């Protein structure tokens, strides 16, 4: 198994099929520094090697922020060359998450601004508590989103809403984020339960549902939806048909269909 310890700014906890990847810079509202981004990218790669992990959730430490943005204290003195390199570092993290075979969930509680919103956008699912706030306020600093905000927001929400969020720079709350399609699920805590705890419970429930499915099939769905978004419909359908056929060479396909016919739960092994 990959070594999942020894990080400075993040921590990984394995809970059965779920890996909780926590950004631990609570005093800085979990801002994305060069170190944090590099460690997250490494962790994504290492988690690819852990077969028992079927879903990864990204969480921010504390009760105030998922990720409040990129680290402005670090960015403020960057040269243009350094700033582009920083944006490319964030881009590499986004690519690692989107190209991973495992589904990623952003569990957003508190602020997800700037780089935090962009990090959430890289994930396959965005779950939010009622205390979540999303935004791309970079224009208020005289710059633009650099980790994919202008591109992923437009693809997820449409160009009109992306223009509003990126040009005006004002945040939106969790209910508005759900309404416009930025959030997949808004988790409302029951009386007596902390909002973040309720959020993580919903993420765990999602992980259990996904983990009960064939992992090779889940990975193909993720890959095909990503690839299909940048090709023609005919090309995307051809990719789907090819993958459909290939999966019939797997032990998971044989197990899944045998279990269905026998009316028993399937035991998938990712083979």
Query: Do residues 219 and 235 both lie within one domain?
Result: yes
Q: Is residue 29 part of a domain?
A: yes
Q: Is residue 4 part of a domain?
A: no
255 is catalytic: no
Domain that holds residue 257: 215-262
Distance CA 17, CA 55 (A): 6
CATH code for position 141: 3.90.226.10
Q: Is 148 helix (H, G, I), strand (E, B) or coil?
A: coil
Query: Do residues 75 and 106 both lie within one domain?
Result: yes
Query: Do residues 190 and 250 both lie within one domain?
Result: no
Q: Is residue 1 part of a domain?
A: no
138 is catalytic: yes
- Catalytic position from the list 26, 88, 118, 176: 118
CA distances from 227 to 57, 184, 216, 221, 222 (A): 22, 21, 16, 10, 9
Q: Which residues contact 79 (CB under 8 A, 6 or more apart)?
A: none
Query: Do residues 110 and 234 both lie within one domain?
Result: no
- Catalytic position from the list 138, 164, 220, 255: 138
Query: Do residues 107 and 193 both lie within one domain?
Result: yes
Q: Is residue 94 part of a domain?
A: yes
pLDDT in tens, 180-189: 999 999 999 8
CB distance 89 to 136 below 8 Å: no
CA 8 to chain centre: 21
Tokens 């690819």 sit on residue: 48
Q: Is residue 81 part of a domain?
A: yes
pLDDT in tens, 240-270: 999 999 999 999 999 999 999 999 999 999 9
Q: Is residue 269 part of a domain?
A: no
Structural domain count of the chain: 2
The pLDDT assigned to 132 comes to: 98
Q: Structure pTM?
A: 0.94
Residue 173: closest CA among 121, 112, 104, 124: 112
E-strand spans in the chain? 10-15, 18-23, 55-60, 65-67, 104-108, 111-113, 125-129, 133-135, 172-173, 185-187
Query: Do residues 235 and 118 both lie within one domain?
Result: no
Last residue of a domain, one of 189, 211, 233: 211
- Judged against a pLDDT cut of 60, whether residue 1 lies above it is answered with no
């Amino acid at each position: 198994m990959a070594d999942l310890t020894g990080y400075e700014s993040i921590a990984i906890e394995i809970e059965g099929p779920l890996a909780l990847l926590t950004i631990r810079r609570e005093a800085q509202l979990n801002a994305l520094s060069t170190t944090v981004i590099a460690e997250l990218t490494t962790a994504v790669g290492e988690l690819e090697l852990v077969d028992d992990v079927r879903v990864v959730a990204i969480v921010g430490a504390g009760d105030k922020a998922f990720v409040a943005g990129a680290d402005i204290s670090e960015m403020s003195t960057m040269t243009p060359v350094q700033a582009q390199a920083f944006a490319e570092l964030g881009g590499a993290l986004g690519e690692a998450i989107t190209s991973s075979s495992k589904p990623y969930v952003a569990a957003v509680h508190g602020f997800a601004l700037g780089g935090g919103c962009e990090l959430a956008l890289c994930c396959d699912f965005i779950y939010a508590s009622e205390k979540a706030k999303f935004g791309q306020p970079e224009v208020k600093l005289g710059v633009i989103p650099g980790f994919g905000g202008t591109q992923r927001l437009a693809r997820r929400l449409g160009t009109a809403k992306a223009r509003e969020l990126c040009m005006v720079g004002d945040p939106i709350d969790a209910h508005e984020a759900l309404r416009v399609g930025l959030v997949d699920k808004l988790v409302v805590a029951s009386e007596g339960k902390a909002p973040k705890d309720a959020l993580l419970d919903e993420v765990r429930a999602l992980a259990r549902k996904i983990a009960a499915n064939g992992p090779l099939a889940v990975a193909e769905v993720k890959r095909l939806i990503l690839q299909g978004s940048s090709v023609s419909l005919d090309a995307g359908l051809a990719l789907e048909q090819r993958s459909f056929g290939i999966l019939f060479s797997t032990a998971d396909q044989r197990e899944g269909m045998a279990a269905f016919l026998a009316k028993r739960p399937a035991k998938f092994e990712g083979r």
